[in-house]
Structure 1
Amino acid sequence: MVEIKTEQSIDEMRAAGRVVAHALAAVRDAARVGVSLLELDRVARGVLAGAGATSPFLGYRPHFAPVPFPGVICASVNDAIVHGVPDGRRLRDGDLVSIDCGARLGGWVGDAAVSFTVGRPRPADLRLIETAEAALAAGIAAAVPGNRIGDIAHAVGTVCRAAGYGIPEDFGGHGIGRSMHEDPSVPNEGRPGRGMELRPGMVLAIEPMVTAGGGDEYRCDGDGWTLRTVDGSRAAHAEHTVAITADGPRILTAL
């Protein structure tokens, strides 16, 4: 069932989204050569605690996971697409890092992700990141009343495919509200004009994921969480929580 949020509820979700935005900004600022992924997780924990928020990631255990997730961020590096577990790995010059973070505040959840490079960037990585961000922008632009879920999926997928990149199968965005994952699912590729109609008060997490090798397949690490490209190519991830309103899409996880 899709919950239609009131204007007040959306404002409260914006408060949670602002915490996510500040956590991502703090993590990005702290991400330097030699810093560990666990240290980045501690930075995000500090931002959440300072705002009086909790993490919807920490302890989360969906049906496919062998263990609860141990961090408040997903930290995916280079060929890791999503769900990277923050551990003692230290960042190296030229790493491509994707950070996904959520916050629960006042009973509402925000969820967003950003990708960036550490040290001297590879031009190919910058193009990959720019494409993920452009796909996210296209998806958000399509998130207007009267459009359908397929219009968002088509907008995202068109940008990714035009750049020659892969789109991991079976993963995409989702509804969000009092829970991190709610109906409806928001694929990263699809046919326009298909699927559920978008109505004011719906809130969606739109999150393109792109792989440089052009393949859509992925494999899972032994930790049961981290998803990697099969061919070892790099990946990027971008995400915002977006409210559908009569005045157009409202990004709830922007600074």
Structure 2
Amino acid sequence: MDAMGIDYIPSRSIIKQYNSAILSRIDRNGGILKLSEKFNIPMGSRVHWHKTSNEEIEEKIKEMISNKNMDKFPSRKEIIDYFGNSSIACIISRRGGFKFWSNKIGYEMKESETKTGWIGEGIAKELLENHGYLVEKMNTNCAYDFLVNGNIRIDIKFSRLFDNGNMKYYSFNLEQKFHDCDIYILICEDENKNIKVIVIPQSFVQNQGQIGVGEFKSKWYKYIDKYDFIDMYSNFYNKINKNKGE
């Protein structure tokens, strides 16, 4: 825990991101709960999104900002590191997103956090419009980023290349395992600003909250530039809408 700068046992996802080999050793020796009991180290408390009010979330974030003397709204990573799990970060994403909550609480988002989201959306919007699609940007309260051709709900995820010392990869957090969009567009940007655009129907990633994509090899690369998925959805909605009012 000292290496991570915390005094509790973080969630499985945090340990895996830090060092997957450590998580494997923990599992072989009885799991996180047994480790907590054996060494008397508390586990990071989890927050159940369906039982937690917006007022409670606001109070927790304000407490974090005060305790850490922050002058900006915390990033997703900072929230996860502070609370020891991704529960509160996921609630924020589900209930309006980080920009909405930063405005609600009255703290500006960090420039890097804001830019990352906007970069991904900007790239995707230009690509979609260049392919002839009509793109409408949704507001911050919406669970997806774009409404395309008046019907298709598309959520944009952007990742730069990560390097954990052993391999390089892209990582996309889908926030939850059951999704509100029709299609995900994953934008991978490498160190030279080259991009790969992966188009995936949300049904392909049901029950997944995270997508990892290797630098050179990944099962997801067969969906690069698969804009025909959008056409399939568009045709489907057009057929459905023809029956409207009949």
TM-score after normalising by structure 1: 0.24
Structure with the larger RCO, 1 or 2 (CA within 8 Å, 6+ apart): 1
TM-score (norm: length of structure 2): 0.24
Larger Rg: 2
- Higher normalized helix content (fraction of residues): 2
